[in-house]
């Protein structure tokens, strides 16, 4: 443990503490300023302090865009509260801005009367110009309606680490921790988790441990002592369901979900992947668990990645691949083969904004129709989507379970917002996770490769290496039961329908659909995937106004929950908000012949609760 006594004790100015129910803070600066880190650490602090929370990281596609530019601004928003919350918040209460460009980009979102903490050192003429400010907003009175705290963060940081023999470049890189320290003080968050994190992260370079902790503490103490800050805010712990919690991002939860499922199936996990934003972190995390029975294979491309996963599945492993939109397109031919040979295969599509390269670091949920229909010929697969970062764990687990149970490919659809967003997660007990019961066929007695389980229609999973069960599979049309190559017309139709029926039977595994709000009424809002939080909050608030709106959130997109039809019937109108131009909407309309309306946003960002409420209210008033 490193201790610091370098900061001289200062006279304590008496401070007032105000209690708040919910606060939204956005950190922003250059891509190189470490804002993602600051945001993540703040998140962790407030998680440990027991609040509920939700986050929205927002970074450019450039690795380190030139300093001071508008397109180089990297931001991280965190919402924390003493009550249940579901979104990172529409508009921040606080902006922690490391330069003029950050302020320029983020100011429009700040709530009236909101707080701005700005690093004055960066408000140079040059930087102001790059950001398109004629004069400094910190000085020209344009920020009058906000509470502005100008702090020379850079200078203070340098001073804090003085004597550690760091060059200025390295030293000033600690300023994100200074800003974090200050913010932590302002909102009475504990900084110990961050100190522990710094110690772990920089283990090999003790001078950086020292420097960063000093900067953190200096920021914290500055808040304590500087007269500028008269009020300190407190957000009380939320009354979450009792249990042990940690903070988790969607990608982390996805990785753990896959590992947990393979463990519960007692099978090795084979993850074939080709790096792509925002999916890569799943590969990174899984790769770090090599002491499990985990193979990670960074392939030469997405085709090889899914091919290797299918090869591993054929060999009896849990075969998974992770990718995003452009990579998904390359996998479809192999998924079609998996459909034909009826092997379990899990394909995780962490959706991003497109089409084509699009906005790789931004979110969207526009791959749904591609996942369901994007293969040549009739090629049914199971499609699932988690609704929150923590839920990624359970749906990833479920994807593996269903794939193995039905011998079918499962597409698991997360997105950029879930992937990088975080929330407190009630850690499940391993013993409470379902067992995944895989029975490899070993008996040659009456064996036929396409004999089916009468209930699930799954064919048997046979591991090569099993004596007496030698057989051949492939992508040509196959005869029922024997699996021999067959061009018989009637047989072909039969097999097409059997494959469809097998996927349809997954409906047996879908839990009853939960309707939030009244079971019948005026308006039903149907959502899927990462819009969950915003939809919950919007519908709850409108309901709180005494209006009739309920909410159903789909985790099973193909097949659809069998009770959905009945639920829809009980409402006068249906609204389907999506971060696309109306994909689930098309399915709902075709399936249930209901004149459902879409609400659509294709901006690379999640819905805001406000805009959803407005749309819902409009529909209710029509």
Ligand X SMILES: Cc1ncc(C[n+]2csc(CCOP(=O)(O)OP(=O)(O)O)c2C)c(N)n1
Is 375 a residue that touches its own copies (CB under 8 A)?
yes
- Other C-beta atoms within 10 Å of 503: how many? 22
Residue from 342, 346, 335, 315 nearest 462 by CA: 315
Q: Which phi and psi (to 5°) does residue 193 adopt?
A: -60, -35
**166 and 214 Cβ atoms separated by less than 8 Å:** no
Show the binding pattern over residues 97-136: x = contacts ligand SF4 (CB under 6 A), - = does not.
----------------------------------------
Report CA dihedral (246, 424, 386, 337) to the nearest 10 degrees. Answer: -20
If one asks whether residue 63 binds ligand SF4 (CB under 6 A), the answer comes out as yes
39 is a site residue for ligand X (CB under 6 A): no
485 belongs to the binding site for ligand SF4 (CB under 6 A) = no
**Which residue is associated with the tokens 């470049």?**
169
Q: Give Cα separations from 559 to 34, 43, 178, 497 (angstroms).
A: 43, 36, 50, 14
Residue 63 binds its own copies (CB under 8 A): no
Total binding residues toward other proteins, as defined by CB under 8 A: 105
d(CA 183, CA 457): 57
Looking at the Cβ atoms of 52 and 90, the one nearer to other proteins is: 52
Distance CA 257, CA 261 (A): 6
Interacting stretch for other proteins, rule CB under 8 A, among 11-19, 311-319, 504-512, 564-572? Answer: 311-319
Does 1 participate in binding other proteins (rule CB under 8 A)? no
Which range binds ligand X by CB under 6 A, 77-85, 274-282, 368-376, 519-527? Answer: 274-282
Least Cβ distance, residue 48 to its own copies (angstroms): 33
Does residue 608 touch its own copies according to CB under 8 A?
no
What does the alpha-carbon distance between residue 39 and residue 88 come to, in Å, rounded to a whole number? 12
Q: Which does 359 bind (CB under 5 to 8 A by kind): its own copies, ligand SF4, other proteins, none?
A: its own copies
Pick the piece of the chain touching ligand X (CB under 6 A) from 188-196, 268-276, 365-373, 596-604: 268-276
Binds 150: which of ligand SF4, its own copies, other proteins, none (CB < 5-8 Å by kind): none
CB of 109 to ligand X, least distance (A): 29
Least separation, in Å, of the C-beta of 337 and ligand SF4? 22
Task: Sheet containing 515-516: give its strands across.
Answer: 515-516, 549-554, 521-528, 571-578, 597-600
Contact flag: residue 333 with its own copies (CB under 8 A)? yes
- Among 172, 136, 161, 163, smallest CA distance to 30 is for 172
Pairing outcome for strands 52-58 and 73-81:
antiparallel
Q: Which stretch binds other proteins (CB under 8 A): 102-110, 272-280, 494-502, 511-519?
A: 272-280
Using alpha carbons, select from 355, 352, 354 the residue that is nearest to residue 363: 352
Q: CB–CB of 492/483 below 8 Å?
A: no
Between CA 178 and CA 167 the distance in angstroms is 17
Q: Is 326 in the site for other proteins (CB under 8 A)?
A: yes
Q: Which residue is nearest to ligand SF4 (CB)?
A: 63
Of residues 38, 153, 171, 276, which one binds ligand X by CB under 6 A? Answer: 276
CA distances from 76 to 39, 68, 81, 423, 481 (A): 5, 17, 17, 14, 55
Question: What would the two tokens of residue 560 be?
Answer: 């659809």
Interacting residues with ligand SF4 (CB under 6 A): 63-64
Interacting residues with its own copies (CB under 8 A): 60-61, 71, 324-326, 328-330, 332-333, 336-337, 339-340, 351, 353-359, 362, 364, 366-367, 369-370, 373-379, 474-477, 487, 489-490, 492-493, 496-497, 500, 580-581, 583, 586-587, 589-591, 593-595, 601-605
Interacting residues with ligand X (CB under 6 A): 274-276, 302, 326-327, 357
């Amino acid at each position: 443990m490193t201790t610091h006594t370098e900061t001289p004790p200062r006279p304590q100015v008496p401070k007032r503490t105000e209690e708040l129910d919910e606060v939204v803070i956005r950190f922003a600066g250059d891509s190189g300023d470490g804002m993602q880190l600051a945001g993540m650490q703040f998140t962790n602090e407030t998680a440990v302090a027991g609040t509920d929370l939700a986050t929205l990281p927002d970074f450019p596609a450039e690795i380190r865009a030139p300093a001071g530019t508008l397109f180089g601004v990297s931001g991280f928003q965190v919402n924390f509260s003493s009550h249940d919350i579901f979104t990172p918040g529409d508009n921040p209460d606080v902006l922690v801005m490391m330069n003029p460009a950050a302020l320029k980009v983020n100011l429009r979102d700040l709530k009236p009367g909101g707080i701005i903490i700005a690093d004055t050192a960066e408000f140079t003429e040059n930087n102001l110009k790059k950001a398109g400010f004629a004069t400094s907003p910190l000085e020209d009175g344009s920020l009058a309606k906000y509470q502005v705290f100008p702090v020379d963060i850079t200078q203070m940081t340098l001073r804090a680490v003085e004597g550690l023999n760091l060059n200025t470049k390295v030293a000033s890189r600690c300023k994100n921790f200074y800003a974090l320290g200050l913010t932590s003080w302002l909102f009475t968050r504990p900084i110990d988790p961050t100190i522990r994190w710094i110690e772990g992260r920089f283990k090999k370079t003790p001078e950086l441990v020292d420097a960063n902790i000093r900067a953190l503490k200096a920021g914290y103490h500055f808040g304590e002592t500087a007269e500028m800050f008269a009020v300190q805010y407190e957000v009380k712990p939320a009354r979450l369901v009792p249990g042990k919690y940690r903070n988790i991002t969607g990608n982390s939860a996805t990785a753990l979900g896959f590992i947990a499922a393979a463990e519960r199936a007692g099978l090795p996990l084979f993850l074939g992947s080709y790096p792509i934003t925002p999916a890569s972190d799943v590969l990174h995390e899984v790769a770090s668990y090599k002491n499990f029975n985990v193979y990670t294979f960074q392939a030469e491309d997405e085709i090889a990645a899914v091919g290797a996963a299918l090869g591993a599945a054929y060999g009896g492993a849990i075969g998974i691949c992770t990718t995003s939109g452009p990579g998904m397109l390359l996998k479809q031919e192999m998924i079609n083969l998996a459909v034909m040979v009826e092997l379990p295969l899990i394909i995780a599509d962490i959706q991003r904004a497109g089409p084509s390269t699009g906005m790789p670091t931004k979110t969207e949920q526009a791959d749904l129709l591609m996942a369901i229909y994007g293969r040549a010929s009739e090629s049914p697969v199971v499609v699932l989507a988690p609704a929150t970062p923590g839920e990624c764990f359970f749906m990833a687990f479920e994807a593996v379970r269903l794939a193995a149970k039905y011998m079918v490919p499962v597409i698991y659809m997360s997105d950029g917002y879930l992937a990088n967003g975080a929330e407190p997660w009630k850690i499940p007990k391993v013993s409470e996770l379902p067992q995944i019961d895989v029975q490899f066929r070993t008996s040659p007695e009456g064996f036929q490769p396409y004999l089916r389980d009468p209930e699930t229609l799954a064919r048997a999973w046979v591991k090569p290496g099993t004596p007496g069960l030698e057989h051949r599979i492939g992508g040509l049309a196959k005869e029922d039961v024997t699996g021999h190559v067959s061009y018989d017309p009637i047989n072909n139709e039969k097999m097409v329908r059997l494959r469809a029926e097998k996927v349809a039977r997954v409906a047996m595994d879908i839990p009853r659909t939960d309707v939030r709000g009244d079971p019948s009424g005026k308006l039903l809002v149907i959502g899927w995937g990462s819009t969950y939080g915003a939809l919950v909050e919007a519908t709850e608030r409108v309901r709180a106004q005494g209006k009739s709106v309920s909410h159903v959130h789909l985790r099973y997109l193909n097949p659809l929950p069998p009770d959905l039809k009945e639920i829809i019937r009980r409402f006068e109108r249906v609204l389907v908000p999506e971060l696309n131009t109306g994909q689930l909407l098309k399915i709902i309309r075709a399936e249930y012949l209901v004149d459902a309306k879409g609400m659509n946003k294709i901006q690379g960002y999640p819905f805001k609760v406000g805009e959803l409420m407005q749309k819902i209210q409009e529909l209710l008033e029509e």
